[in-house]
Chains A and B, each alone.
Chain A
Amino acid sequence: DGGITQSPKYLFRKEGQNVTLSCEQNLNHDAMYWYRQDPGQGLRLIYYSQIVNDFQKGDIAEGYSVSREKKESFPLTVTSAQKNPTAFYLCASSRGNGNQPQHFGDGTRLSIL
């Protein structure tokens, strides 16, 4: 079955540590996205990538970094510079023409201890 796999489902880290969230898709989609979901704030875009080796900042990119070395993979690193990293993180992908709906992963819940 085609889809998006996010791992791990739950992640705990100590304050001051960087942590990387994995996102893999086998839908052959060009575009991939990272969102942060907080109660009452909906989905806020962190980073997105329209093609391999290219990505753009979203609305809340500070304290985060990404890479897009392969079409199917778009890992997100939450750095120690992110002031409030505890949140639910969602990865999504879509075909690369802007007219297609996004497909979402199951999310990773990150908790900073």
Chain B
Amino acid sequence: AQSVSQHNHHVILSEAASLELGCNYSYGGTVNLFWYVQYPGQHLQLLLKYFSGDPLVKGIKGFEAEFIKSKFSFNLRKPSVQWSDTAEYFCAVIPFDSGTYKYIFGTGTRLKVLA
């Protein structure tokens, strides 16, 4: 079965530290990839997406993600986190040729940034 793994369930960082959140998926075909963020008390919103082209994708608020097809990974990075980045982060995948619009989400990573 297709799945998305986020191995870091909880991450605690100090402000200005660098961030990398892992995301791996299990599907051999073409995929569309997303990172969503859920700030405390707010709805999920799109952070960035990858469909094709340059595998290094830049999103909002200084986030970026790199698609490495050979590793089935789409890790999220930010060089210097801020207290306001405290949130839960979800990786999601759509198998491109699945014939459905079914998104597969990871279990999420809770990030806490200490001021």
Chain A residues packing against B (C-beta within 8 Å): 31, 33, 35, 40-45, 48, 50, 56, 58, 90, 92, 94, 96-99, 101-102, 104-107
Contact = CB atoms under 8 A, between A and B. Distances in A.
Interface residues of B, number: 25
A45 B94 CA distance: 13
A13 to B, nearest CB: 23
B17 interface: no
A41 B107 contact: yes
Main secondary structure of the interface of B (DSSP, over half): loop
Contacts of A99: 32, 51, 94, 96
B107 A48 contact: no
A40 B100 CA distance: 26
B83 interface: no
B43 to A, nearest CB: 5
A98 B101 contact: yes
Contacts of B105: 35, 42-45
A107 B103 CA distance: 18
A-B pairs with lowest CB-CB distance, top 7? A42-B107, A43-B105, A104-B44, A98-B101, A101-B46, A42-B108, A104-B43
A15 B34 CA distance: 37
B25 interface: no
Interface of B: 6, 9, 32, 34, 36, 42-46, 49, 51, 90, 92, 94, 96, 98, 100-103, 105-108
Contact of B101 (A35, A40, A44, A94): A94
Contacts of B106: 42
Contact of B103 (A41, A102, A105): A102
Contact of B90 (A42, A94, A105): A42
A40 B94 contact: no
A104 B34 CA distance: 14
Given A101-B49, A105-B43, A45 B103 contact: yes
A3 to B, nearest CB: 9
Nearest to A38: B107
Nearest to B49: A101
Contacts of A44: 105
Contacts of A94: 101
